[in-house]
A and B are shown apart, each in its own frame.
Chain A
Amino acid sequence: MPARLKAVSVRLAQAVPVIFGVIVISFLLTRALPGDPAVQFAGPAATAESIEEVRRALGLDKSLPEQFLLYLGQLARGDLGQSVSTGQPVLSELAARLPASLELTLFALILSCAVAIPLGVLAATRPGSLVDQLCRILVTAGVSLPTFFTGVVLIYVFYYLLGIAPSPLGRLDFIYLDPPHVTGFFLIDAALDGDAETWFAALKQLILPGLTLALFTLAPIARMTRAAMLSALSADYIRTARAAGLDRNKILYGYAFRNALLPVVTTLGMVFSFTLGANVLVEKVFAWPGIGSYAVEALVVSDYAAVQGFVLAMALLFVLLNLVIDLAYSAIDPRFGTSAR
């Protein structure tokens, strides 16, 4: 354990220069945007004078180095600044929106893993069979259907036509109130609060957007599972195990699957990151107050603080994610010693 702990802290220390780089680059890139926030936020009727007033109010009349130092000072105090376009502190907005996105993404990934991994394993053990064909169809459909399309179709069928899904109005219908904030994950918070009514309401809101994203993420996971299982099953050690007359399940799950898991976990990490970034469209369709739409809107109106806060939060998240994936590697395959890296 101490070795692992040391490896974790070394990894975290290595992340510090990366994060600093991200801070500098996000600061410079936002300033390089051609849009002028003072113009954007000067309101429907503006004069050169009122635009200057807004520029002063936003602190953008100062020189770049000065602005950067102020920004660093803010960061040191744990303040990510104030978003002009939403009128809220960036930190509180991220704290509210990141869990919303994470809850949706994780829910979708669990859903898609629950389908994709067994499907991939079955397809690999019976290549060319019906299950294999089904897997192929699902994978093709998942890749070729854009998420906003799937989302709109699901709303049309399950909400509009059948009326069995709740109104696609974000994380909770307006008749419910947010559960007391602990983690920001409504399912967890409502469970902690012992509020079954809200828990079910939150779950229901999750199902359609979750399905939409799950369909989208199904493809890479199922395909990777199938391919990894196929190559594992044709490996020498499986032939040896079979020759030794080991139990079929032991071979399949004890040896082949465990070895096939490594590439699947890698894919999972990648899928997680692009899903979190790419679910803007799903968020729009389901009025989900997530982080993707926040970032895109902030970028469009040149809302510097919000964009920088988003980039920083994402950088931190990915440092953590990579760490978790590496730890998962070493748990799956002991040959991946953590001390070496």
Chain B
Amino acid sequence: MTTTRRTFLKTGAALTAMPFIHTLPAMAAGRDTLVAVTAQTINSLDLHRTGTNRASYAVAINCYDRLVTFGTKEAPGGGLSYDYSTIEPELAESWEISEDGLTLTFTLKDALFQDGSPVTAEDVKWSFDRAVSVGGFPTTQMKAGGLERPDQFEARDAKTFVVKLDRPSKLSLPDLAVPVPFIINSKLALEHATAEDPWAMEYLHKNTIGSGAFKVIRWDAGQQVVYERFDGWAGGPLPAVSRVIMREVPSASTQRALIERGDVQVAFGIPDKDAAELAEKMTVYSTPIENCINCLCMNTNFEPFQDPNVRKAVAYAVPYEAIFQAAAYGRGAPTWGGTAEIEDTAWPRKSPYDTDLDKAKDLMAASGFPEGFSTTLSISTDLSSWMEPAALLIQEAVAKIGIETQIEKIPGANWRTASLVEKKLPFHLENFGGWLNTPDYYFFWAYQKDHLFNSSNYYNEEVERLTDETLHMAMDDPDYAPKIKRMFEIVFEDLPRVPLWQPALNTAVNGAAGYEFWFHRQLDIRTLSPAGA
């Protein structure tokens, strides 16, 4: 970072007066600076780097542009949300999709990078090449949209960029609006590239060189990120605030004290409990996370759970409402007690199950395990805020139908290894959420054999086939809805995952407006403004 102590103090007019004031009251923060707190820590300014964590995606969102972005809609539960169904321009002025759906031609806006050089199709190509070449998560996410190799991308002239697909897919265009394919100033990056580091990973790790609405002027690892507005931003309406300080505060109670006092304006991603209590005092947005479900999973590699009656008995035994209140404080959306008839393709949706102990007991009696059995119920310590209360209630409920469970808590990296990769946990909780908001995309990750989030080792031939068929199919195709409904029917019958509820992302604001929920679950600071502005 080139910001020195002196230039930093000189730049923000609002800040220069500050060192003589002991604390920064909400109003004195000026209409120019917002302070947000979050428990998450950023570990890189470059999303493409190996090991970059979720919190760091915020940098890619706020400091870089993509070709396209999603529109905005009213969110359920108040506030705004991104709108998966409308794609809007960001760096691309317009685009055309060829008749066969295989060629996407983008015309770029007259945009500038933050160093003043123009954004060209060459930069877009270099950035896309980088995303599909570096391996790991960015490459995997690009593949979801059918973007796999550099030869699919072509810079036709300075303003025209072409993507060639191997097959038409409804996921390709939305996949260009996720944080991964962000556009980098390739000339500047190449100046810092070396033979061992052709993609300038080291330089981008610590510098933001995009055309986005903000640039990072200061990053104190483990403490804060300071964003400053780029006044030449072409990707959208100029943000209302010139500076945003994203401060890392791990303790939820400290975050609460700060937001209640008004010393910070946004508390992002707070626990459900605090959201429920703060909602009485200030605006709290609790947006159900699209395409995300907290599930109780039964591993089909374990004998008792191979019995369909056992799985159904468990689904009828689960005390859904009690869990929703105790573990989520009523934040989010219920996913139980739906109709048996499936009439639309909405997902997440209410399963046809509800708490019915008598039915559960009958099903157990009819199963191969009328005497019950014992097993372990595994949860992650990182997610214990919701998994622990949910697990305790489930433990108590399934004991009534003869299933003795021991709760096993597994920490951090061990959890991912045991549950998702080795898939060796018989009975556990899981919470996959798909970025691309279509049911088939959820099924691809959570119900198809050997895919990461299929922690139940579920395999059903028909689901495999239907998922493959619908994954790239247009949603208005007449075949789409019947196939999707059939997939819902099968998994609700087979029940490898019992949906518990759709969790919410909670954000409290005190002195700020314009909060918008995004599928990537990071704070988009571009739409924020001081309250009342």
Contact = CB atoms under 8 A, between A and B. Distances in A.
Nearest to A197: B19
A252 B487 CA distance: 85
Interface stretch (A125-133, A173-181, A242-250, A315-323): A173-181
Interface residues of B, number: 67
B249 interface: yes
B129 interface: no
Contact of B136 (A43, A85, A152): A43
A43 B140 contact: yes
Given A42-B136, A47-B140, A285-B251, A36 B417 contact: yes
Interface string B447-484: 00011100000000000000000000000000000000
Q: Which 8 A-B pairs have the closest CB atoms?
A: A43-B137, A35-B413, A53-B135, A300-B412, A87-B43, A41-B51, A84-B51, A40-B413
Nearest to B144: A45
B432 to A, nearest CB: 9
Nearest to A160: B257
Given A39-B420, A88-B221, A34 B414 contact: yes
B23 A166 contact: yes
B280 to A, nearest CB: 16
A96 B220 CA distance: 10
B452 A175 contact: no
Given A43-B137, A85-B51, A284-B250, 14 more contacts: A39-B417, A41-B136, A43-B138, A45-B140, A50-B136, A50-B137, A58-B51, A88-B221, A167-B261, A168-B258, A170-B223, A178-B220, A285-B253, A287-B247
A57 B19 CA distance: 44
Contacts of A50: 135-137, 139-140
Contacts of A302: 412-414
A333 to B, nearest CB: 43
A210 interface: no
B247 A93 contact: no
Nearest to A179: B5
A303 B15 CA distance: 37
Given A53-B136, A284-B250, A284-B251, A33 B413 contact: yes
A166 B19 CA distance: 13
Contact of B413 (A39, A88, A159): A39
A104 to B, nearest CB: 15
A137 interface: no
Given A42-B136, A50-B139, A87 B51 contact: yes
A169 interface: yes
A211 B323 CA distance: 39
Interface of A: 33-37, 39-51, 53-54, 56-58, 84-88, 93, 96-97, 152, 155-156, 159-160, 163, 166-170, 173-178, 180, 197-198, 201, 204, 284-287, 289, 293-294, 297, 299-302
Given A39-B417, A57-B135, A175-B24, A168 B257 contact: yes
Contacts of B15: 175
B447 to A, nearest CB: 15
Contacts of A87: 43-44, 49, 51-52, 56, 205, 221
A86 B254 contact: no
Contacts of B421: 36, 39, 51
A37 to B, nearest CB: 6
Interface centre among A87, A160, A294, A302 (most CB of B within 10 A): A87
Interface in B245-289: 245, 247-251, 253-254, 257-258, 260-261, 263-264
Contact of B8 (A48, A177, A201, A299): A177
B136 A54 contact: yes
A84 B50 CA distance: 8
Contacts of B369: none
B223 A54 contact: no
Contacts of A289: 220, 222-223
B430 to A, nearest CB: 13
B139 A53 contact: yes
A33 B23 CA distance: 44
A299 B320 CA distance: 34
B53 interface: yes
Contacts, number: 184
Given A169-B258, A176-B19, A35 B417 contact: yes
Contacts of A175: 15, 18-19, 21, 24
Contact of B452 (A46, A56, A152): A46
Contacts of A294: 222
Contacts of B261: 159-160, 163, 167
B166 to A, nearest CB: 17
A9 B19 CA distance: 47
A97 B260 CA distance: 29
A93 to B, nearest CB: 7
B23 A167 contact: yes
Contact of A300 (B140, B224, B413, B452): B413
A53 B132 CA distance: 12
Interface string B124-163: 0000000000011111110010000000000000000000
B41 interface: yes
B485 interface: no
A37 B382 CA distance: 15
A163 B262 CA distance: 11
A35 B258 contact: no
B13 to A, nearest CB: 13
Contact of B135 (A39, A54, A156, A301): A54
Contacts of A180: 5
B9 interface: yes
Q: Which of B223, B250, B445 has the most CB of A within 10 A?
A: B223
B71 interface: no
Nearest to A171: B223
26 contacts: A34-B417, A35-B414, A36-B417, A40-B416, A41-B136, A43-B52, A43-B138, A45-B137, A45-B452, A46-B137, A47-B451, A50-B135, A53-B136, A84-B50, A86-B222, A87-B43, A87-B205, A166-B23, A167-B263, A170-B223, A177-B9, A180-B5, A285-B253, A287-B223, A289-B220, A289-B223
A50 B223 CA distance: 30
A160 B140 contact: no
Interface in B169-224: 205, 220-224
Contacts of B140: 43, 45-47, 49-50
Contacts of B51: 41, 54, 58, 84-85, 87
Contacts of B41: 86, 297
Nearest to A82: B51
Nearest to A159: B257
A31 B176 CA distance: 38
A240 to B, nearest CB: 56
Nearest to B16: A175
